[in-house]
Structures are given as C-alpha cells and as structure tokens.
Amino acid sequence: MALKMKALSAQSGENKSTILFYIKEGLLPAPSKPKPNVHLYDESCVEIIKFIKYLQHHFAYTIADIKHIFEQTPLDLDGSFEMMVSALEIATVGKNPVWYTKEAFLKESGLEEETLDTYIDRGYLFQRKQGFSSAELEMVGILQNLSTLGLESALIDQYVQSAKQIAMLESEAGARMFDTIEKESTAHYEMLFDMVLKLKPYIYNMHTVSQYYHDKRSQS
C-alpha cells in the first residue's frame, strides 16, 4: 500500500524534512508520482525509517555509517544475515579505516611474512578483499605486546575456538529469527543486532568481572 507524506510521517514518527533527506541520501526509495503534485511512498519506508532510528539511538551510527551499510547490503525486509555482517565490519574495522596491501602492511607493522601468515592461519588476524585495515595494525601491536610479556598463546587460541563456535550458533539463531518473525518488518534485524552487539559482549565481559571478584575473594 502506498502512503502519502503525512501518513508516512505519522506512522514512522519522523518529520517531513528528515524523510526527504533520507531519500536524497538514498536510504529510502524515491516516491512514485502518479499525478502532478502527488507523491506516494512505499509502505516499506515506515520500517526502514524505524530501523534507521534504531541504529542511531542504540549504536550511535551516523547517517554516513548507515548509508555505508545499506550500500554494502541493501535492506531486505524478508531477512538476510548480510546486513549484520556489514554492521559488524564497521564496528570492528572502524568508520574510516586505512587499508594496506600485504606488502605495505608488512612494512608498516614490522612483521615478518611468516609471522603474519601464522597469525592468519591461527585466526588472530584477517585479510579481507580490501587487504589489511588499520584495525589489523592495532591488533598486531596488541599481539606483540602480549608476546613481550610472555603470555602464552593458549588463551588467544581459546578466544578463536570460542569465537568460531559462537559464530556458528549466531548464524543458526539468525536463520531461525528470519524464519519465524513476521516478514516486512525489521524486528529480526533489531533482535540480531541486540544479541550480537549488546548481549554477547555483556555476557563475556561480566563473566570476566565475576571471575575477577571470585579470584579476589579466594585470595583474601
């Protein structure tokens, strides 16, 4: 069902100027114009606007961030895990990463190629289609500092194994969400974002806090 601007604004809770801005930025489809001075908007715009507001309010994403996500993976109201992947890349790599070829990355990081290949094989670092980002460069610094302190790699290897297991479970959970939640809605995206970007780090970090206090009580 097509909506006039007044109805779209009322149902989405967004004002006219912001909606027109979203259209200009390519976040919303342009309206159809069946008659002069008559603009009709697809009803999917309501859910898209709500999802934009959700990303802004809950994750502090800017319009530029959201535009980048939508450009990477167009919003599919029938459900797709790909948008979650795009958002995770922004959260992990950063909003404006610097990209390096392998050769440039080796020079910038000071790593030997054999060491870099080992980090990749063990799942410590990732080489994407753009190459290596400034996030990988930061991780190299952390890995080198840990090595200098004599920290055994067993803990990092356990991070990797745990991450692989969780990734499989998250993929399965995402598929179930998309199968069970009402279509033509962004509710599945919101639940998936909440689970991956809020619930997961909360559980991980709070278990570390809990373990710290447990060890402290044991020592006293």
Q: CA-based diameter of the chain, in Å?
A: 79
CATH number at residue 73: 1.10.1660.10
As a whole number of angstroms, the distance between CA 117 and CA 191 comes to 36
Quote the tokens at residue 142. 């952390």
Distance separating alpha carbons of residues 90 and 68, to the nearest angstrom: 9
| Residue at 127: amino acid letter | Q
The reply to whether 170 and 130 lie within a common domain is no
Q: Please tell me whether residues 113 and 200 are part of one structural domain.
A: no
Identify whether 86 is part of a domain: yes
Same domain, yes or no: 187 and 201: yes
pLDDT in tens, the chain (220 residues): 789 999 999 999 999 999 999 999 999 989 999 888 889 999 889 988 988 998 888 888 889 888 888 887 666 655 556 666 777 777 677 667 889 999 999 999 999 999 999 999 999 999 988 899 999 999 999 999 988 877 768 889 999 999 999 989 988 887 787 677 665 667 777 888 888 888 999 999 999 999 999 998 888 7
CA distance 212 to 219: 11
Does residue 161 form part of some domain? no
On whether both 190 and 84 belong to a single domain, the answer is yes
Alpha carbons 43 and 56: distance in angstroms, whole number: 21
In a domain, 106, yes or no: yes
DSSP-derived secondary structure letter, 40? E
Q: Which domain holds residue 74?
A: 2-94+166-219
Which pLDDT score is estimated for 77? 59
Q: How many domains does the chain have?
A: 2
